[in-house]
Every structure is written in C-alpha cells, then in structure tokens.
Chain A
Amino acid sequence: MLNYFKTIYKVGKSLIQGMLVTWKSFWQPSITVQFPDEKLITPERFRGALTFDKETCTACNLCVKACPTACISLEPAVDPATKKRIAKVSWYQIDFGKCNYCRLCEEACPTKPIKSVRHTHQYEWGMLERKEMFVKWERMSPSTEPSTSGSTNMKPI
C-alpha cells in the first residue's frame, strides 16, 4: 500500500520537474535568426557557389578530372593566327545541377596565387528550370558577365 503512494509521489514529482524544464526555457531568450532581416556570417572556409576567373585559367583540365560527378566542361582557346592551342580557355561551363560543392576542383586547380575556380560565400541562389543550372563563362564574347543559355541567374531567391 505504501509503495502505491510512493509511486504516485515519484510520478508526480518527475512530471513536475519535466514541466519546470520547459518553464525555465520559456523565459530564456529565443535563438531564432530571422533570416531576411538578420543573416549569419559564413565562416572563412564556407563552400558556397562556385565562381570562375576567365583570365587566369590555363585550361589544364585538372578540375574536370578531379570532379566526382563530372559537371565541369571547358574548351581551350585556339590562337586564330597560328591555329595552335594557347594556355587560355574559350568557354567554361559548370552544371550546378550535379555539383556536390565538395571543393575538389578548387584543390586540384594549379593556378597561383588565386585559384581560377573557387567557392564564394554566396548561398542565396535559386534557379527556376534545369537549363538555368548550366552556368557558362565565355572569354571571347565581349560581355564579361557569366551568361547562361537564358536569363542571368545570379539573382538571389
């Protein structure tokens, strides 16, 4: 009979203790970051969207080999006069539908001091159709903007 009341007391006590935990955190300040107004600062090694620097790239294909999902494709530039391949790139395309953001291409890129393909800190990046995921950088065309076959896609979501 006695332990019947003891169990009731024990059950009641632990229920109340559980409620006190939620009561204590009821008064603690909340930790939500309200995204559009407040934004978290991304750490220095953050692997965001990839950018590409047309001038420094020597079209050595190391990044193409390093990529696990083979989403990088490029074409070396050809000197119109001598019809020989020169150490520049004519166009460079990354298919962000397949990219793993794994930084293997950046590590494989031999260009000094700043790598020609590297991660930025940009994560606000939405695309509407699959075609928009093919980001293409052309060196020959006058426009320096990275153009996709369609609308420019660098607009935040």
Chain B
Amino acid sequence: MNTEILRIQGQDSKTEEMILNLGPQHPSTHGVLRVILKMDGEVITSAQPDVGYLHRGTEKLAENRTYPQMLVISDRWDYLAAMSNNLVWALAVEKLMQIEVPARGQILRVIMVELNRIASHLVFFGTYGIDIGAYTPFLYAFREREKILDLFEEVSGARMTYNYIRIGGVMADLPKDWIGRCRSFLEWMKPRFIEYDTLLTENPIFQDRTKNIGILPQPLAISYGISGPNLRGSSYRFDLRKDAPYCLYEKFNFSIPTGKNGDCWDRYWVRIEEMKESVKIIEQALDLLPEGECNAKVPRIIRPPMGEVYAQIEAPRGMLGIYLVSDGGDKPYRVHVRPPSFINLAVLQEILVGMKVADVIAILGSIDIVLGEVDR
C-alpha cells in the first residue's frame, strides 16, 4: 500500500507539503501528546511525535522519598492501571529485601491487578470506539468500569490512585462480602462481551476502518522493543505472566490471545480477548483464595541492603519494569521505570508514513498509550 501512494506524488503535480499539528490539545491523542504530521493532501509523508508535556520527574522524586512513599508516586504513572504500578514497585523492593509474601497476599494482588486490567482495557475499548466514530461503546464500557471502581473503592478507599498493594502484602484484607460483589460483577460482565462483539468487533464499518491498517511486522516490533498486546497483535506469543511468572501466576490456567497480521483490528481483538481471560483468572483466584495472614513481617523503616534489581510485570499496556539501585539507605539511590507506552509510541513514526489522517487516529488509538506513563 505504501509504494502505490508515493508514486502518485510525481514531479508534475507540484503539491506543496502541509504541516499539521495533531495535539497537544486534540480530542483523540489520549492525553497531552503532539504529533507533527507532514502531509501531502490527506496522505502522511512524515510523523514525529513530541512528548514531555506531562513529565513530572518521577525518577528524581524517587531519589528523595522512602520506599513506602514511592508507592503513592507510582499510582500516577499509568493512571488507568495504578494497581500494576504498585505491584511492580512492591515486587522490586521485596526482591531486593528477599521478603516472601504469604499466598493470600499474592492471590489478592492477582485479583486486584486483573480487575484493573479489565478496567484499563474497558477504557481502551471505549475510547477506541470514539476514535473510530462510534460514541455508544464508550458509555457501555464506562458503565462496566464504574462497577469495578466501586469494588476498588470498597477495598482501598480510592477510585484511581489506590495505594493498595504495599511492600510485603496489601494495605488491608477484603471487606465483608466483597467476594460476593466481585463474583456478581463477573457474572454481569460475561454477557457484555457478546454485546461488545456485535456492536463493534464484527461491525463491518469498524472492520473496514481497522483491518490492514497500521500493520506492525514482527521484526520491526521486536527491534522497537514493543511489548504487551501490541506485540501479541503481531502474532508473537510473549506474555510475562506465562514466560516469567510472578505472584503465583503459574497456578492459573488461561490462554494468551495473539493476532494474525498485526493490524489495528488484531491489537483491538487481543485486548478484548485478554479481558475475557482476565475474567477467568479472577474466578480461579477467588476460588483459590486461602485463609490466613495476608501481609509479611516488614520492618517499620524499610532499609533494603545494597544492590540492584530489575522487576517486571505484564501491565495492561506492556512490560512495565523497575530498575532499582539501592545504597543501603532508606531512600533508593537510583530508580528507572521502564514505561511500555513510551517505548511503544516510538514505532508511530514508522508505521504512520503513507497513511491517511483518519488512519493516524485509528493507529494511535490501537497502540493504546497513556501519557502519564509516557512522560513519567
């Protein structure tokens, strides 16, 4: 498709190039992102994303905060999946201090992270519908997400910045009949997937807008360090929950959906299937939840030994990692956050060339970035 377009711009039809600023205030850049598009008519000749508008310097902040305080900052990276950020920070510190979290604490963490994955993919499903032009799926997605946020509000007290997963376990055990409400949510969620499929996935106009658009070939994906549903969309089976299990993930059986030819539709389809898998994981986790203490014994002032550690988990947007170097004090010496959205976004400048303006929005939406995580 690309070669055919470039041939049109022959020497004779002298069309002067138009530079269009997509963002930073734009309804479909999912946050404060600016993409400088050079266009010939409707076709993009070069795209250059410009990030940094939401940079809050978390890595500098981390250097003068104690370990538990850093959890509160971690909520603000990928603000649609704060539980995953908390989990990766807690895992890094626990690995450094060699703390073993009891089984109940680990399974509670799995339940929370998977619920958060569903909530984050629901936001993707809703906003991707709007990017392509259908307004109704957004409202349905947020109707379901409200139920999840209510569950989170009961367990942690907040709706977006939970600060629930702590070093050594979780903030507090589940309230009384939380498990009953969680199960009723899962029952409510299952028929919704059929509704979503009829409304958007099998909709011919939607498929026409997303099939064979923004194809991300596998070698390009690997060389750009793409991870998460975008990588699985290009038919590469790699999921940290299966390949490097953490937090007792090896106890659950669930499948890893992978797309076929790496276009926008496959990335969208992978996320919808992942939501269905997450529902299965939560059900197994709720059955598997053992009794007993959910927190490990952790000293009041956390002072990990000297050393460095790299912990990574499968966040909804990809491989979220924390590279933590400690010099024995109560504040980390150096923290580097490996942000999946920041790295996935870099591929935009390659696959946008030759596409139309409407496709730019479809491709940007299908990569599903959150600017809090891109800029940190």
Q: Can you list, as one digit per residue, whether each of B303-326 has a CB less than 8 Å from chain A (1) or not (0)? A: 000000000000000000000000
Verify if B9 is at the interface (C-beta below 8 Å from A). Answer: no
Give the contact stretch, choosing among B66-74, B215-223, B287-295: B66-74
Asked whether A18 is an interface residue with its Cβ less than 8 Å from the other chain, the reply is yes
B70 contact set on A, CB distance < 8 A: 68
A125 touches B (CB below 8 Å): no
Closest A residue to B196 by CB, please name it.
A21
Contact between B158 and A101 (Cβ–Cβ < 8 Å)?
A: yes
Interface residues of B in 138-154 (CB under 8 A from A): 140, 143, 146, 150, 153-154
| A120 vs B368: C-alpha distance when bound (angstroms) | 36
Residue of A20, A67, A68 with highest tally of chain B CB at under 10 A: A68
Give the Cβ gap from A120 to chain B, nearest Cβ, in Å: 12
Most chain A CB neighbours (cut-off 10 Å) among B65, B143, B198: B198
* Count of interface residues, chain A, beta-carbon cutoff 8 Å: 27
B interface size (C-beta, 8 A): 31
User: Which residues on A sit within 8 Å (CB–CB) of B171?
Assistant: 103
Residues of B within 8 A of A25 (CB): 140
- For residue A139, CB closer than 8 A to chain B, the reply is no
Bound CA span A42–B153, Å: 8
Give the interface SS of chain B, mostly helix, strand, loop or mixed. Answer: helix
Which of A43-51, A73-81, A143-151 faces chain B? A43-51
Q: Which listed segment binds B: A9-17, A52-60, A83-91, A129-137?
A: A9-17
* Contacting residue for B175 out of A20, A43, A103, CB 8 A: A43
Q: Which of B44-52, B115-123, B199-207 contacts A (4 or more CB under 8 A)?
A: B199-207
Q: Does B172 contact A (CB under 8 A)?
A: yes
Q: Is the CB of A43 within 8 A of B154?
A: yes
User: Which chain A residue has the least Cβ–Cβ distance from B300?
Assistant: A108
Bitwise, A17-53 to B at CB < 8 A (1) or not (0) is 1101110010000010000000000111111000000
A-B contact pairs, 19 of them (CB 8 A): A14-B204, A15-B203, A17-B198, A18-B199, A18-B200, A20-B198, A22-B199, A31-B143, A31-B146, A42-B153, A43-B150, A43-B153, A47-B157, A47-B158, A66-B68, A66-B69, A68-B69, A101-B158, A102-B163
New A-B pairs, 4, CB < 8 Å, besides A15-B205, A18-B203, A43-B157 = A45-B154, A46-B153, A103-B157, A103-B171
Contact residues of A with B, CB < 8 Å?
Answer: 10-11, 14-15, 17-18, 20-22, 25, 31, 42-47, 66-69, 100-104, 119
